[in-house]
Structure 1
Amino acid sequence: MSDRPGPHRIPLATRAIGVITPSANLVVERVTAAVLADFPEVSAHYSRTPVRGSKDGHPDAYDLDGMLGAARLLGDAALDAIVWNGSKGASIGFAHDHALIATIERETGIRAATSMTAIESELRRLGLTRVAVVTPYRGDYQERLVATLAGEGLTVVAEAHAGVADNLAYMRVSETEIAALIRRVSAARPQVILTLCTNFPAAWVVADLERETGLPIWDSTLAGVFAGLEAAGIDPHPARAWGRLFEGDEAP
C-alpha cells in the first residue's frame, strides 16, 4: 500500500471567504491561495466584476451592477465574509468603499470588507499619515491617486509608478522592477509604503523588501486577504511571513 496521503487526509475547510476580483485580474487568486496555505480551515471562493482594457467605464465610482451581481452569486453560498480585493478606492475615495460594504452587507446579509478599508483602518489605528506609493499606473492616474490620498489626510512623501496603461498588463511588471520602485521611494523614509493595484504582483517581494528597507510595506492584494480574514473573524497572524501587515498590534 502506498504511503502517500490520500484525499481523506486533507484537512476539511470549515470557514469560507468570498472574493470579488476584477475580471482582468490573475494576481488576486494566486496571492489568496498562497496566503491561505497557512489557513487549512479556510477556503476562498471567487466571483468577478468587469474591469478590462485601459478605459474605466465608471471612473468616479463603482460599477454597482457588476459588483452586486458578483456579491449576490457569492452570497448564495452563505459564506463567512465577502471581500472586494481591489484598490480603486485609493483613486475615488474611501467613502465609496464604505458605501460598497454597506450595500453588499444589505444585499447578502454577509459581513463585507475591502482592500482599501483594511489599509485605511490600519493607518488610522496606528496613527500613520506619511506614506509612499508604488503602482504600475501611468502618470495621470498616479496623480489622481496621490491627490485622492491627500484628500483622505495622508501625506504622500514619495511615489513611483511603472507607467502601464492596460489592466491586463499590470501583472506583467517584473518583481525586479517592483523592487526597484520600492527601493526608490524608501529613500524618503515614509512611515509605510503602499503598493497599490491588486493585479500588480508586489506581494511576492514585500517581506524581503521590508527586511531590506526596515519599513513596513502594505500591499493592496495582501490587504484584501487580510480584510477577508478579519471580516470572517479569523486571526490573520499565521500569515505573518507575508509581511508586517499581518503581524498585529505593534506600530511600525
Structure 2
Amino acid sequence: MSTFVSPKRIGMLTPSSNTVIEPYTSRLFMPFMETVSVHYARFKVTGISLSPESVKQFDHDTIMEAAHRLAEASVDCIAWSGTAAAWLGMEQEQALCRRITEETGIRATSTMAAFAEAVERLGAKRLALITPYTSEIQDAIIARYQAAGFEIVHDTRLEDQGNFSFATYPSDQIKGYAMSAAESKPDAILIVCTNFRGAPIAAEVEAAIGIPVIDSVSITAWQTLRLVGEDPSEIMGWGSVFAL
C-alpha cells in the first residue's frame, strides 16, 4: 500500500476584488500538482488611491486576521500577494511579514520582497514600470524606486482606481505596453499589480526583445516555491524569472 505524502502548502493573502491571482497561480503550479498546494485568504480591497480610506484597507490588523485563517491550514509559508508596498513603503510591509511570523510561527514573504530580490539578482538598475494605477500612485512608486537608487526609464499608467477593474485589461494590451517599454532599453520591465494579466505575455515579449519581464503574480510564485524547497525552473514557458 502506498503512503500518502502531504503536499507542501503555500498560503497567499489576496485582495478581495482580485480575480487574477488564483487562476494564474493554478496554471503556474501545474508542474507541482502532486507536491504543492496553494491556499488563499481574502481581505477587503476595493479601490486603490492615496485617500485615507484606501490606505486603511492595508491596516495590519485587518491583514493579520486573514493570515491567522491561513495558519489554521498549517501552511508552510504565507505570502502577501499584493503590491501596496510599492507606494506605501517597504518598511511597512517588512513589519507585516515579521508580525505574521511572530504570531503564527510561519515564514512570510511578499510580492514586493520578491521583486526586490529578483531585481538584485538581475543587477537591474534601469527599470521600466507598467501598472494600471493612477498618477498619484504611480508617482509615489517611482519616487520610492528612485530613492532606492533605481532609474525609471519608462512608465505606463492607466489611471484606473480599480481594484476589480484591473483584471479587465487583456493580456495583448499589456503585451503592447511591454513592447513599447523596450524602446527605452531598460534592464528589466516590471509589471506591478497582482490583478493585472502580465504573466502570460512575459515569455513571448522576452523572446522578441531580449529583456527580462517580471510580472507580479509570477514573481510571487517564484518566491514561494523557493521558500518551500521546490525548484521554480520546472515552470517553463512563463518567462525567464523562473530560471533565476
TM-score higher than 0.5: yes
Aligned to 1:231: 227
What displacement does 1:97 show? 2.1
Equivalent residue in structure 2 for 1:110, among 106, 109, 120:
106
- Give the count of matched residue pairs: 238
2: distance between equivalents of 1:200 and 1:12?
Answer: 34
2: distance between equivalents of 1:64 and 1:107?
Answer: 12
Equivalent residue in structure 2 for 1:15, among 5, 8, 18:
8
1: distance between equivalents of 2:121 and 2:210?
Answer: 20
Unaligned runs of 5+ in 2: none
1:89 maps to amino acid: A
Distance 1:61 1:93, change over 3 A: farther
What displacement does 1:228 show? 1.4
1:147 maps to amino acid: A
Moved more, 145-154 or 30-39: 145-154
1:35 maps to amino acid: L
Aligned to 2:153: 157
Distance 1:60 1:216, change over 3 A: farther
2: distance between equivalents of 1:138 and 1:18?
Answer: 29
Aligned to 1:93: 89
Deviation per CA, 1:204-237: give whole Å up to 9, x if none. 1111111111110000111111121122222211
8 Å Cα contact 2:44/2:57 also seen in 1: no
Aligned to 2:40: 46
Q: TM-score, normalised by structure 2?
A: 0.92
Q: In angstroms, what is the RMSD of aligned CA positions?
A: 1.8
Equivalent residue in structure 1 for 2:80, among 81, 84, 87:
84
Q: TM-score, normalised by structure 1?
A: 0.89
Equivalent residue in structure 1 for 2:18, among 2, 18, 25:
25
Unaligned runs of 5+ in 1: 1-10
Partner of 2:31, secondary structure, is coil
2: distance between equivalents of 1:238 and 1:112?
Answer: 23
What displacement does 1:86 show? 0.5
Deviation per CA, 1:111-163: give whole Å up to 9, x if none. 11111101101222332211100011122221121112112221111111222
Distance 1:173 1:151, change over 3 A: same
Moved more, 114-123 or 134-143: 134-143
1: distance between equivalents of 2:204 and 2:222?
Answer: 19
Moved more, 128-137 or 61-70: 61-70
8 Å Cα contact 1:93/1:149 also seen in 2: no
Aligned to 1:136: 132
Partner of 2:235, secondary structure, is helix
1:240 maps to amino acid: M
Equivalent residue in structure 2 for 1:71, among 67, 70, 89:
67
Deviation per CA, 1:170-207: give whole Å up to 9, x if none. 00012222111111111011000000010111111111
8 Å Cα contact 1:93/1:152 also seen in 2: no
Partner of 2:45, secondary structure, is coil
Aligned to 1:35: 28
What displacement does 1:104 show? 0.6
